[in-house]
Amino acid sequence: MSYRLIVAADSGELGSRAADLLAEALAARPDAVLGLPTGRTPVSSYAELTRRSTQGGIDLTRAVAFALDEWLGVSPDHPATNAAFFRRHLSVPLAALHLMRSDADDPAAECAAFQSLLRESGGLDLALLGIGLNGHLAFNEPGSGFDSRCRGIDLAETTRRAHASEFGGLAATPRRGLTLGLADIMEARQALLLASGPGKAAVLARALCGPLTEDLPASILQRHPALVVVADRAAAAELPRRAA
């Protein structure tokens, strides 16, 4: 396998390097289709995109974005939905930002519609990705098939715990989510994996250098032909110095 590794000094530099890569992708294809994650990791990237967009340094007005996942069984008014996250952190005019509905009555129909929309858009040009503590990608928890598509999924306890404070405690944290599948993510023409902080060092090294296994969904990225990893020093600490 091979991937390009960019090590940033800190989360701020990570955001700026990620924005550089997005700007390159948009220069090549102004109407690019982007897959966008939530979480703490991409916040500095979205802040930088917002800053550059406001100052005229980057133009996303022709780009189409798909949120990679959403909580299920939550009112759309709840501040912890991914929809609310994007309203807070990404103040950038886009041609469209597509999200799955957190209050979908029929999750299978919601996913089928989202999957069709993605197909009609030509699939992802660039998937921006974070990695969960248990190696999840979007909400593809351990055990997700490498051939998985958009679907409803039971969330792992680690994932729920990691986000419990946003929902006011574990009991109120949703048990299910909606997510694009690993196959949808792998079809992206470019994958850009972000990782920040010491808590991600071990899982990032296992994902990139350990066995390819559905027990660690992000390990599928070892098969991606155009993977760029942007990690801050703390998250990159357990990676081999030179990506092979």
Binding-site ranges for ligand GLP (CB under 6 A): 37-41, 68-69, 130-132, 138-139, 159
Minimal distance, residue 194 CB to ligand GLP, in Å:
8
| Gap between the Cα atoms of 238 and 143, Å rounded | 24
Which CB atom, from 123 or from 197, has the smaller least distance to ligand GLP? 197
Q: Among the options 110, 125, 141, 184, which is catalytic?
A: 141
Which CB atom, from 3 or from 139, has the smaller least distance to ligand GLP? 139
Would you call 69 a catalytic residue per the annotation? yes
| Gap between the Cα atoms of 235 and 184, Å rounded | 26
Would you call 13 a catalytic residue per the annotation? no
Q: Among the options 20, 134, 214, 238, which is catalytic?
A: 134
Minimal distance, residue 11 CB to ligand GLP, in Å:
10
Minimal distance, residue 55 CB to ligand GLP, in Å:
26
| Gap between the Cα atoms of 73 and 232, Å rounded | 34
Exposed (0-12), middle (13-18) or buried (19+): which is 243, by Cβ within 10 Å? middle
The strand ranges marked E within 9-103 are 33-36, 64-67, 69-72, 96-98
Q: Among the options 48, 69, 184, 232, which is catalytic?
A: 69
Please report, for residues 118, 197, 200, 207, 230, the alpha-carbon distance to residue 233 in angstroms, rounded to integers and kept in the order given.
Answer: 34, 8, 11, 17, 10
Which CB atom, from 16 or from 81, has the smaller least distance to ligand GLP? 81
Q: Among the options 48, 125, 136, 140, which is catalytic?
A: 136
| Gap between the Cα atoms of 159 and 170, Å rounded | 10
Minimal distance, residue 59 CB to ligand GLP, in Å:
25
Which CB atom, from 15 or from 37, has the smaller least distance to ligand GLP? 37
Would you call 48 a catalytic residue per the annotation? no
SS3 content of the chain, % helix, strand, coil (to 5): 40, 20, 45
Asked if residues 239 and 205 have their Cβ atoms less than 8 Å apart, the reply is: yes
| Gap between the Cα atoms of 61 and 57, Å rounded | 12
Would you call 82 a catalytic residue per the annotation? no
Minimal distance, residue 242 CB to ligand GLP, in Å:
25
Which CB atom, from 68 or from 207, has the smaller least distance to ligand GLP? 68
Residues noted as catalytic: 69, 134, 136, 141
